[in-house]
Structures are given as structure tokens and as C-alpha cells.
Amino acid sequence: MSEPASLAARIDALLPQTQCRRCGFEGCRPYAEAVAAGTAPINRCPPGGDATIAALSRMLGHPRLPLDPACGPEAPLAAARIDEPACIGCTLCIAACPVDAIIGAAKLMHTVLRDSCTGCELCLPVCPVDCIVMRPSDRAWTADDAMRARERYDKRNIRIASHSRRSRSAVPAGPTRDQRRAAVAAAFARARARRRGGNGSGG
């Protein structure tokens, strides 16, 4: 039992810890476990790119493969940026960020902690007002970055699991998904109304 776990940990240590899910798994560790089990190839990590494939090839003794194009292209590190005046404070991007790199509160604007952003892009599709864009980071992703991202990812997962356990035992229950969606829709409508008012004022 210990050898597969040890192998998965060694593979995980070579991955960039962006937690972007482009490999088809929920994070870097699940992908590492699949590679260790022989159920996933070594060429499904666009953020790691050719360097990660080469490292995995050397460690595992597998043939070196080109990056699987189905996972997306290798690209320079980018970071998310929020157009803060357009942000409606829905918190959906905060919930989507796998490494707690976005801060803010409900109905208040959010902001991205640039040095903590892994460039995973998971915040983009959930934003109802499309106020998040990716910008080049102008720096390389380092092993220290990966280590800190893994720590934030693990802490976030522990916090979510703890909150889930408390929520199951708590009464009353929190808002339903439909209620959250309705709240987001209302915030969206308010933002539209503010923009119309601003456009009509001439600035």
C-alpha cells in the first residue's frame, strides 16, 4: 500500500500545483495518483508543459511524449485581474478559486492576490458579468510558487470539508442553490441599472 502512495507523492512534487483541472482531474494530486496507478499518461499538464513531461519521463522511465493537445496549449504564466468597478460582489469567483487567491465579500468588490494566482482560469466561466480577464504575469512559475499553492489548496480543502460537516449538522440550512442564483441575478440587475445611470450622466 505504501509504495503507490509514495509514488503518487513523488509525481505530485513534480507538478506545478496550479490546480487548473486541464488534465481532466480535480487537481494535481488526483492526476498524480492516476499517473502512479498507470491510468493516466504523463503528458496532460499544460502549465507544466514539456519540462514536467520530461521530468516525469525520467522518473518513471516512460517514453517522453508531446503535450496532449486535448488539454490545451502550454503558455506563459498569466494571472487573473478583476475589473473592480464592474464587480457585483457575487462571490462565485471566490468559491471557484482553488487556492484562495481572490478576496472579497458578498455585495462588495473582489480583488485577486496576484502573487497567489496560479492562472488556472477557473474563475472566468463563473463570473456572471465577465469582469475577470487574464493578464501576463511577466515572471516564471517557480518550485516555491508550487509549494505555496499546494499549501493553500490543501488548507482550502480542509476548510471546505470542515464547513460541510458543520453545515450538515446545523439547523437551519443555508440558502439553496436557487436562492444563491436569484441573489446573483438581483445583483446583476442592480449593476446594469448603475451602469445605465452612469452612462446617462455623461462622464
Would you place residue 180 in the very low, low, confident or very high pLDDT band (cuts 50, 70, 90)? Answer: low
One-letter-per-residue 3-state SS of the chain: CHHHHHHHHHHHHHCCCCCCCCCCCCCHHHHHHHHHHCCCCCCCCCCCHHHHHHHHHHHHCCCCCCCCHHHCCCCCCEEEEECHHHCCCCCHHHHHCCCCCEECCCCCCCEECCCCCCCCCCCCCCCCCCCEEEEECCCCCCHHHHHHHHHHHHHHHHHHHHHHHHHHHCCCCCCCHHHHHHHHHHHHHHHHHHHHHHHHCCC
| CATH number for the domain that contains residue 44 | 1.10.15.40
Q: Mark whether 147 and 87 lie in a shared domain.
A: yes
Q: Are residues 179 and 82 in the same domain?
A: yes
Q: Which among 45, 71, 97 is the end of a domain?
A: 71
Residue where a domain stops, chosen among 41, 56, 71: 71
84 in any annotated domain = yes
Number of domains in the chain: 2
Same-domain status, 86 and 135: yes
Examine the domain organization and report whether 27 and 116 are in the same domain. Answer: no
Please indicate, yes or no, if residue 201 is contained in any of the structural domains: no
Q: What is the mean pLDDT of the chain?
A: 89
Considering only 53-57, 138-142, 154-158, 197-201, which range has the smallest mean pLDDT? Answer: 197-201
Q: Domain range spanning residue 160?
A: 76-191
Same domain, 168 and 151: yes
Structure confidence at residue 1 as a pLDDT band (50, 70, 90): very low
Percent of all residues in the chain with a pLDDT value above 90, rounded to a whole number:
74
Residues 28 and 101 in one domain: no
Q: Same domain, yes or no, for 57 and 88? A: no
pLDDT tier, 140 (very low <50, low <70, confident <90, very high otherwise)? very high
The predicted model gives 110-116 an average pLDDT of 95
Per the domain annotation, does 200 fall within a domain?
Answer: no
